Amino acid sequence: MEILAYGVLADERPILERAFAARHRLRCLDVFLNRDTAPLAAGYPAVSSSVNGELDADTLALLAAGGTRLIAQRSTGFNNIDLDAAAGLGLTVARVSHYSPHSVAEHAWTLALAVNRRLSRAANRSREFDFRLDGLLGRDIHGMTVGVVGTGKIGECFTRIAHGFGTELLGWDITENPACRDLGMTYVDLDQLLTRSDIVSLHVPLLPATHHLIDAAALAAMKPDAILVNSSRGGLVDSAALVESLRAGRLAGVGLDVYEEETGVFFTDLSISGITDDVLARLVSFPQVVVTSHQAYFTRTAVGQIIDATLRNVDDFEAGRRSENTLIPLAE
């Protein structure tokens, strides 16, 4: 089968090409899939999209008109795809239901540690041969109270690391995870978790019920010296409210690997043109904030698993099979 892969990163490309070489003809593009780039897929029965593609109704209609029948998303999240429109067009849509949860959990802790110990500021100073310790005072993680919002596979991995640090563990989820309970986690309501935690890390999916889960009221409920980490979905946090909270001198640190308006910004080089998003520009200017570009998943292990799952999705489509990755039933 011929496949056009959009939004392929430089480090991802050789892994993707090796995986598909034996069974399918693959062409890789570094541009993201949207209504402007969709016509490039004319004649390709399958496309593979990245999480930063914009697969709205117009984009999907252009793909279908060009002969595309399968969309294989190389991510777990799929809120960028209009599934109703895809179903109406008879498209099959598949995603990667899971990959290494350790990659995201470890990056979440990397962010927490970086903001706690002021590593970004310290590294920048060292490059200028400024080796003072002024403004770099951190805190021991040991003995802190860590709140884990969402205790699925990634939240569980994050909890195991937190347990290793010797922290008090609080959890919030619609379903309790016995493995987290065994590590000493106490499940509480979200308000209690926010008011008691020194570190709050988000690991829930983006749904209507979780959009802006961390809003102005939630931020006000947190300890003024708390650390907030989001490595899940940008829309979980009201970014404008976060800026106002930081402007008011609240929160000791914020680590963000995702941002609610990241599409068209993350994964691109805007160092010359700059950005027009005033909220993001303000966020990255705070010394206690570290922003990374949706890279929590970006390890050899996780990327390899994502590509292997994408390959299986293409094989399943070709064989007329469905799997746990299939979001929209196969076209008739």
Give 59-77 as a 3 state SS string.
HHHHHHHCCCCEEEECCCC
Quote the strand ranges of 1-89, DSSP E. Answer: 2-5, 25-28, 46-49, 70-73
**pLDDT for the residue numbered 332:** 45
Report the alpha-carbon distance of residue 3 to residue 71 in Å, rounded: 10
CATH code, residues 101-291:
3.40.50.720
Give me the tens of pLDDT residue by residue for the chain, a chain 332 residues long: 999 999 999 999 999 999 999 999 999 999 999 999 999 999 999 999 998 899 999 999 999 999 999 999 999 989 899 999 999 999 999 999 999 999 999 999 999 999 999 999 999 999 999 999 999 999 999 999 999 999 999 999 999 999 999 999 999 999 999 999 999 999 999 999 999 999 999 999 999 999 999 999 999 999 999 999 999 999 999 999 999 999 999 999 999 999 999 988 998 999 999 999 999 999 999 999 999 999 999 999 999 999 999 999 999 999 999 999 999 985 44
Q: Please report, for the chain, the start and end positions of each structural domain, with discontinuous segments joined by +.
A: 2-99+299-328, 101-291
Q: Is CATH 3.90.1200.10 the right assignment for the domain spanning 2-99+299-328?
A: no
For 180, list phi and psi in degrees, rounded to 5. -70, -40
CB 123 within 8 A of CB 287: no
Angle (CA) 57-58-59 rounded to 5° is 95
Other CB atoms within 10 Å distance of the CB of residue 135: 11
CB 92 within 8 A of CB 70: yes
**pLDDT for the residue numbered 121:** 94
Quote the strand ranges of 185-331, DSSP E. Answer: 186-187, 199-202, 227-230, 253-256, 289-291, 326-328
Other CB atoms within 10 Å distance of the CB of residue 306: 25
pTM of the model: 0.92
Q: Do domains 2-99+299-328 and 101-291 have the same CATH topology?
A: yes
Length of the chain (residues): 332
The two structure tokens encoding residue 282: 């303000």
**pLDDT for the residue numbered 18:** 95
CB 179 within 8 A of CB 154: no
**pLDDT for the residue numbered 331:** 44
H/E element, 175:
none
Report the alpha-carbon distance of residue 19 to residue 145 in Å, rounded: 43
**pLDDT for the residue numbered 330:** 55
Report the alpha-carbon distance of residue 20 to residue 74 in Å, rounded: 14
For 284, list phi and psi in degrees, rounded to 5. -70, -10
Query: How far from the centroid of its chain's Cα atoms is residue 139's Cα?
Result: 27
Report the alpha-carbon distance of residue 45 to residue 63 in Å, rounded: 9
Nearest Cα neighbor of 200 from 248, 166, 167, 235 is 167
Report the alpha-carbon distance of residue 177 to residue 153 in Å, rounded: 9
> For the chain, first and last CA: distance in Å?
18
Q: Which residues are catalytic?
A: 233, 262, 294
